[in-house]
Amino acid sequence: MITSLGIAERVSREVPTSDPADAAVVLADFSAAVSARDVAASLRPGGWLYWEATRRNGFLPGFTTGRLRRALQKAGFSMTGQYWVRPPAGAGMDFVPLDVGGAVGWYLSAFSRPWVGALAARFPRWARRIGTVAAGRIGVTAVAHGGALTPPALLEPGRLPARLGSALLRPVIHFREHGRRTVLFPFAAGGEIPVAVLKYSPVRERSSRTREEQETLSKVRSRLDPAMRRTLPEPLGLVEWSGVSVGIESYLPGQSIERTASLPMVSFSKMAADLELVTAWLCRFQLANSFGRPAWGGEDWSLEKWVETPLRHLEREFALSPDVENLFAATRRSAQKLVGSPLPIVLSNSSFSRGNVCRSDHGIAVYDWELVGRGLPLVDLMYFLIDWGRLVQKASAASWRRTFRDLLIDPPGDRVSRAVECSVSSYFAALAIDPRFRPLLGALTWIHRAERRARKDGIVRRSLDPRLIAFAETNTRLLDE
């Protein structure tokens, strides 16, 4: 895979004794099988090394990495960085530079367990020590035989926009979607938040999405007033690196709704207030990015495109249960009944989730604009509400059937279901949507997501989206009412 992606021309699992290599990687499971001197002898002058160390026999990582650093220095390596690697086992997904205090504190606040993040935010000077103690795996980078201590090629001065400055930047690296997308958060030496966000996919065929996200952000921001424009990242351009397109955008400060709702001792009133802000933001955004109110069933809202195509795809690809078949039949009937009624076309962000909406002292901000297009109203809010409801009401997250029953189909009237109902009502009022569309749009939310998941998975996964199955099992009469 490494060679197919163009990262290297040749890869060997053995330490070469001739023909020195450009780079070497020693993973934690194999670190005891090789010596630093053997690895140094296998590298050309200036060759790069990545070496992992793990917590063993009760020793803290600091002791393990201390011995490793001394061994590497004796072998002729010059250290370039030390990273906290998460998770502690398996493929590394996050790499946090432990020698950049601001990066550690920010990462703990943004990604770690809520109580650790709260502690790091309250005592930022102790963040690096907290990270080191919490680390179960640490990666060390070094350069061989007196090579120049240059920054990573992607972060070299002159490659990035001038507004990011010329200081040496060290990144927090975050792999998403099982490695299909990489996000870098570069930090200056004394910085407390990233200077920007860099995104790319190592899969070259997906580079077009990176370019499209930059174009989408530019177009969307041009339709917003200055206050709303500040709630979206500013696209800062593209750079080509190792055959892939890297998108650069401004960093939005704040914590995700998922993080703020998980903090210790957070009150429900605070979580409900955040939901009101998110709902108001979405209403304001989609009103600014609305493209008329054509008649449902007409050319712009053809039933063939918005109803029949996804239903037929799912019917063709999966063996459907009676409940799902009944849902599909009811969806067709409901769609026919509403033909001729006006419905706004809005800009929809398929990634509008509790993890991609952040909250700061300045309000709401939204990131991840890779999958955006003109589409149905309500679907973004519906997806967010289910995501939010499962977070704040743990009992509802016990199963998808329980989720849909408690939050949408047969709400018990508790404070969570009342907050969800208030959000939906506010949205329909703000966008002036006929309430009769609510059951249909709710069903199409999960039908469209199931279709997109099926097309994305291809032959990898041969099961229908469990959310759609649960929605069908709990939604036996609502569409016909």
pLDDT tens for each residue of 454-475? 987 655 557 899 999 999 999 8
Listed ranges 76-85, 104-113, 238-247, 375-384; the one with the highest mean pLDDT: 375-384
Q: Which of 34-38, 47-51, 200-204 has the lowest mean pLDDT?
A: 200-204
Please, what's the b/e burial string for 239-276 (b: 16 or more CB within 10 A of its CB; e: otherwise)? bebeebbbbbbbbbebbbbbbbbbeeeeeeeebbebbe
Q: Identify the residue with better confidence: 96 or 115.
A: 96
Looking up tokens 């020698």 gives 99
How confident is the model at residue 147, as a pLDDT? 61
Task: State whether 442 and 310 are in the same domain.
Answer: yes
Q: Which of 50-59, 199-208, 412-421 has the lowest mean pLDDT?
A: 50-59
- The conformation of residue 178, written as its DSSP 8-state character, comes to G
Residue 13 lies in a domain: no
Calpha distance 184→96 (Å, rounded): 10
Residue 67 lies in a domain: yes
* Per-residue pLDDT tens digits for 28-42: 655 567 788 888 888
Residue 11 lies in a domain: no
What is the phi/psi pair of residue 123, to 5°?
-125, 75
Calpha distance 424→458 (Å, rounded): 33
Structure tokens, 293: 């109110």
Task: State whether 171 and 269 are in the same domain.
Answer: no
Residue pair 88/133 in contact (Cβ under 8 Å)? The answer is: no
Structure tokens, 192: 């407390």
Residue 4 lies in a domain: no
Say if residue 95's pLDDT is above 60: yes
Task: State whether 66 and 185 are in the same domain.
Answer: yes
Sequence-distant (≥ 6) Cβ neighbours of residue 470 within 8 angstroms: 399, 400, 401, 403, 404
Task: State whether 203 and 79 are in the same domain.
Answer: yes
- The conformation of residue 480, written as its DSSP 8-state character, comes to G
* Per-residue pLDDT tens digits for 135-151: 778 888 899 877 666 67
pLDDT band at 107 (very low <50, low <70, confident <90, very high): confident
Calpha distance 376→338 (Å, rounded): 14
Say if residue 161's pLDDT is above 70: yes
Residue pair 255/359 in contact (Cβ under 8 Å)? The answer is: yes
- The conformation of residue 295, written as its DSSP 8-state character, comes to B
What are the CA-CA distances from residue 391 to residues 167, 271, 443 (Å)?
A: 40, 10, 22
Task: State whether 345 and 426 are in the same domain.
Answer: yes
How confident is the model at residue 84, as a pLDDT? 87
Task: State whether 271 and 237 are in the same domain.
Answer: no
Q: Which of 191-195, 239-243, 378-382 has the lowest mean pLDDT?
A: 239-243
Structure tokens, 228: 């709303």
Structure tokens, 235: 């696209």
Residue closest to 409 by CA, chosen among 472, 323, 354, 336 = 472
Say if residue 260's pLDDT is above 60: yes
- What residue type is 442 in one-letter code? G
Structure tokens, 136: 């179960």
What is the phi/psi pair of residue 182, to 5°?
-120, 135
- Total number of domains constituting the chain: 2
Q: Which of 43-52, 282-291, 324-333, 385-394 has the lowest mean pLDDT?
A: 43-52
Q: Identify the residue with better confidence: 11 or 244.
A: 244
How confident is the model at residue 241, as a pLDDT? 84
Task: State whether 420 and 302 are in the same domain.
Answer: yes
- The conformation of residue 306, written as its DSSP 8-state character, comes to I
Task: State whether 188 and 294 are in the same domain.
Answer: no
- Continuous segment of H or E residues that includes residue 91: none
Last residue of a domain, one of 190, 225, 249: 249
How confident is the model at residue 244, as a pLDDT? 85
Residue 439 lies in a domain: yes
Q: Which domain holds residue 405?
A: 255-480
Give the orientation angle of helix 127-134 with respect to helix 114-122, to 10 degrees.
150
What value does the mean pLDDT of the chain take? 86
What is the phi/psi pair of residue 443, to 5°?
-65, -45
Residue closest to 382 by CA, chosen among 446, 476, 477, 324 = 446
How confident is the model at residue 133, as a pLDDT? 67
* Per-residue pLDDT tens digits for 116-138: 666 766 676 676 666 666 677 88
Say if residue 59's pLDDT is above 60: no
Task: State whether 95 and 144 are in the same domain.
Answer: yes
Residue closest to 431 by CA, chosen among 364, 346, 365, 348 = 346
Residue 14 lies in a domain: no
Task: State whether 243 and 353 are in the same domain.
Answer: no
Question: pTM for the full model?
Answer: 0.87
Residue pair 263/118 in contact (Cβ under 8 Å)? The answer is: yes
Sequence-distant (≥ 6) Cβ neighbours of residue 25 within 8 angstroms: 49, 50, 51
Task: State whether 32 and 164 are in the same domain.
Answer: yes
Say if residue 20's pLDDT is above 70: yes
Segment 271-278 long-range contacts (CB within 8 Å, at least 24 positions apart) = 271/388, 271/392, 272/415, 272/419, 274/359, 275/388, 275/419, 275/423, 276/422, 276/423, 276/426, 277/359, 277/363, 277/364, 278/357, 278/364, 278/384, 278/388
What are the CA-CA distances from residue 326 to residues 39, 405, 449, 476 (Å)?
A: 64, 17, 18, 7
Residue 344 lies in a domain: yes
How confident is the model at residue 481, as a pLDDT? 60
* Per-residue pLDDT tens digits for 344-400: 999 999 899 999 999 888 889 998 998 899 999 999 999 999 999 999 998 888 899
Say if residue 10's pLDDT is above 80: no
Last residue of a domain, one of 249, 283, 318: 249
pLDDT band at 1 (very low <50, low <70, confident <90, very high): very low
Residue pair 344/283 in contact (Cβ under 8 Å)? The answer is: no
Q: Which of 11-20, 60-69, 96-105, 417-426 has the lowest mean pLDDT?
A: 60-69
Q: Per-residue pLDDT averaged across 154-158, rounded?
A: 78
Last residue of a domain, one of 224, 249, 274: 249
How confident is the model at residue 423, as a pLDDT? 97
Q: Identify the residue with better confidence: 216 or 101.
A: 216
Examine residue 87 and say whether the peptide bond preceding it is cis (omega within 30 degrees of 0): yes
State the CATH number of the domain containing residue 373. 3.90.1200
Residue 8 lies in a domain: no
- The conformation of residue 307, written as its DSSP 8-state character, comes to I
Task: State whether 117 and 102 are in the same domain.
Answer: yes
